[in-house]
Amino acid sequence: MQQATALVPTAFPKIVPIRQAAEILNREHKPIAVQQFVARLNTDRHPEEYLGSNWDVDDPYGGSRRQYQMAVEQIAGLVRVVLGKLT
């Protein structure tokens, strides 16, 4: 998120860390349209909030096979949450 925003600052409103998206969508009682979700998300969101934040999934690069498996499981779970709540 930080690197993408630094490269293309205008992309910030279109970038949402998957962990943050899943956390927000978990609070929804019913599915929500992608456009509505993004619009709602960006009403009170600022790039400075992401400096030093921990919204990213841990990068297993150089780690053990188990660390890679844990990262895959974490990403798969987050993707299931997000896809299950967006229409």
The verdict on pTM exceeding 0.85 is no
Q: What is the DSSP letter of 30?
A: S
Tens digit of pLDDT at every position of the chain (87 positions): 677 777 887 888 888 888 888 988 998 889 999 989 988 888 877 777 776 667 778 889 999 999 999 999 999 999 999 999 999
- Residue 86's SS3 state is strand
- What does the angle CA 73 – CA 79 – CA 82 come to, to the nearest 5 degrees? 145
pLDDT for the residue numbered 73? 96
Cβ proximity of 24 and 34 under 8 Å: no
The structure tokens listed for 28 are 């929804």
- Comparing CA positions, the residue from 78, 41, 37 lying closest to residue 58 is 78
pLDDT for the residue numbered 77? 95
User: Please, what's the largest Cα pairwise distance for the chain?
Assistant: 40
In whole angstroms, what is the distance from residue 76 CA to residue 38 CA?
21
